[in-house]
Structure 1
Amino acid sequence: MTEAHNDILNSFRTVLVIMAHPDDAEFCCAGSVKKMSDAGAEITYIVLTNGDKGNHNLSITVPELVKTRMEEQRKAAAMLGVKEVIFMGEEDGFLEPNRELRRRLVRHIRRIKPDLIICQTPELYFRGDNYINHPDHRNAGLATIEAIFPAAGNPMFFPDLIAEGYPPHSIRELWMCMTPEPNLRIDITDLIDLKIEAVKQHVSQFDDLDRLERWIRERWGEEDEAGRRRYFESFKRMSFGD
């Protein structure tokens, strides 16, 4: 079992969280984000898609749903101390890690200059025998990784961005959630209630909030040797030096 390493949370000044949909960040890393924000880090969210497929109710229009999901994301982010939420507006369900998206992400990475980027893993297609991972999750991770390396730190990629005032930038660390091989765990036991409340801000996505809460406590929780319930967020951590 990977040990929890909360001590590293104090080492980041600027953090960029890049996710496929509104609500993905809260599931992935709400507790870790709040801890880093409380430690003084400046947190930015990038939400790649507009979330326009996140409903089965045909009585709501697409513009109404998109507006609702943006409002829900802003509320959740505010609870966690996030400074800025950037909505990229890609169509939900059809996210593609193409050249133009890479350029847009590189521009934000060079502008924000994060020490740490948190994203979804591109390697998870399914888990167990009853969960298929959303293709947008995989493609969000792939788009992020391809923007980080080699493009964001290489002046030969998108030189027009340098002319705009955005020189190359290389990050110190990358954390990927939903990974089948985590090597980093953050203990969020003291913040599990806040994580749940942040997820619950996405009201349009859930029919039964009590069931949602039970699932989160089961999914992110485990018993320690003393029989106490502890909660963790897990990541694949990659470090690239100072």
Structure 2
Amino acid sequence: MKWSLRMALSLVTTLLVNLAVLGQAPVNDLYTSPTILTPGVTCTNVAGTVVNATATPGDPAINAATGYDVWYQFTATSVNPVINVSSPGANFTAPRIQVLSGTFGSMANKFNGPIATALTTPLSLVVGTTYYLRVYSASTTAPTTLGDFNICITDVNAPANDAFANVVTLTSGPTCVTPVSGTIANASPSAGDAQVTGCNSVTGDVWYTFTAQSVNPVISMTNIGTSITGLYFGSVTSVRW
């Protein structure tokens, strides 16, 4: 009887292990059934998993197409939302994110990189456009356990003078008495003008305008953050930072 009991327990254990190994793929394993995410002003985590996930070949834009992945979809409500994948399981190897636009088969890559990089990289999305979000690993072997994670999309407001139409007015004077504070955090790139397009147009910028009181005014910038790369004139009366 003892031998029979051990045999029965062994068979049950083996069956459970095999079921785990051959377990069902996540509900959003395919791009045709993505989980819908809703951006918000705060991070509202949605639980996800790559346990038993499979690869998605068939589109040239997909990075590491032989790696396992799961799919999400969201409609952009800001230009540079923050995508946060947190608390990845121990068996989720080198988790990465890819943001894609368009139709499967001819998608365009908007961002691709490690989950930490996604927290600080401006995405320059188009508000109102729907995007695919792929959470994946370059590894070809999906975990059978410990592959869970959390994901959320948070909207961050752009600067008030992010667009050319919303310039901040600067007043020139004989001395720099009251500096005007500014930021390019979460700024989006500008397009539509040949001079702008040819001058670091892929990076975020903010806009100012002033009326010249002298032929050669001195424009000073202080306490400059490391993300600011230059000061450019868009015309004789406007300044682009």
Is the pair's TM-score, using the shorter chain for normalization, greater than 0.5? no
What is the TM-score of this pair, normalised by structure 2? 0.22
Give 1 or 2: higher helix fraction: 1
What is the TM-score of this pair, normalised by structure 1? 0.22
